[in-house]
Structure 1
Amino acid sequence: MPLTLASPVHHELIVKKSRFIACVQPTVDRAAAQKVVAGLRARHPDAAHVCWALLAGGQSAAVDDGEPGGTAGRPMLDVLRHQDLDGVLATVVRYFGGVKLGAGGLVRSYAGSVAQALLGARKVEIFRLRRLRCELPYPLEGLLRRELERSGATLERVAHGAGVCCEFGLPENAAAALIARLNEAAGGRIVWREEDST
């Protein structure tokens, strides 16, 4: 199961007077990643390079930002893939120290700074969210609400008409057990509508 990060983590590496400032953080997509990178460029106007790699919901990127092709973004991306991460942006801001590192030195520095940052990261599992809809008689609304709270589900919408219509979301791996408990407790009086996953 893919993992993401609970919060951003940082690491700084000095190699032959060049300073590599790495950050690995959770992100939702490429647009959000590009905003972070733009912010880094604004905060580090004297940096030689702001390289980055992204894995987020099927989107990926490996940007060398002027470093020789394949020496920065790709090694950073490989570190993310190797750790089965998703929804993650890795950035490295480089201040050039005056000594050229060569292709191998660059690959080791960029990949190494990201890998070192990840050593301090708290990784969390990514759960697919399942949205459920149901209709039930008024006397069962309290039962439904108690079961949703017990399951950690998020009640998103309630409509009162001929009966009570509810929409809620919960981790996909908890959905089947909740449906079974509710069906048993309600004696089959809950009508399930369409369901989807995100």
Structure 2
Amino acid sequence: MRLVVRNECIISIDGAVEYSLNVKRSKFLGHAEPVFNVDTARRVIKNISRSHRSATHNCWAYKIGEETGFSDSGEPSGTAGRPILNAIEKMRLNGVVVIVTRYFGGIKLGKRGLIEAYFTTALRTLEKAK
């Protein structure tokens, strides 16, 4: 999807998309949606977090114009929200929010494992949308 805003072309996704990844018994669920303002992004984050209330973590990131935001949602600092934002930036997308929900499977992944799992889930979710 392309949206022209003030003579700039913003490339986003066409609609909501989901992807699932299992890593060492933890289940990672990616959800991405097009959004064009921060209020809508926060509403999507709230709704997805509500529908996965029993999840261990609901980590997220968004990029809307020049504005970005992300949260590790209780995961170690820098292991979830930033990798999700990195996936958005790698795909050169804008006007998008990505939430990655984690259901802990009993095996700790370590910082490197968490970064890889969150980045991979976000990236594959976005690739599925294109």
State whether residues 88 and 126 of structure 2, in contact with CA within 8 Å, keep that contact through their aligned partners in structure 1.
no
Once residues 116 and 81 of structure 1 are traced to their aligned partners in structure 2, the CA distance between those partners, rounded to angstroms, is 13
RMSD between superposed Cα atoms in Å: 1.1
Cα offset for 1:19?
0.6
Once residues 57 and 116 of structure 1 are traced to their aligned partners in structure 2, the CA distance between those partners, rounded to angstroms, is 22
Report the TM-score when normalising by structure 2: 0.89
Q: Which runs of 5+ in 2 are unaligned?
A: 1-8
Supply the AA of the counterpart residue of 1:23: H
Alignment partner of 1:8 out of 11, 16, 26: 16
Task: Name the SS for the 1:45 alignment partner.
Answer: coil
Q: State how 1:1-198 maps to structure 2 within 5 Å.
A: 1-122=9-130
Once residues 53 and 120 of structure 1 are traced to their aligned partners in structure 2, the CA distance between those partners, rounded to angstroms, is 17
Match of 1:164 in 2: none
- 1:71-129 per-residue CA deviation (whole Å, 9 max, x = no partner) reads 0000110111111111000110111111100000000100000111122213xxxxxxx
Task: Name the SS for the 2:86 alignment partner.
Answer: helix
Structure with higher RCO (Cα < 8 A, 6+ apart): 2
Report the TM-score when normalising by structure 1: 0.59
Task: Tell me the percent identity.
Answer: 36
Match of 1:163 in 2: none
Q: Which has the larger radius of gyration?
A: 1
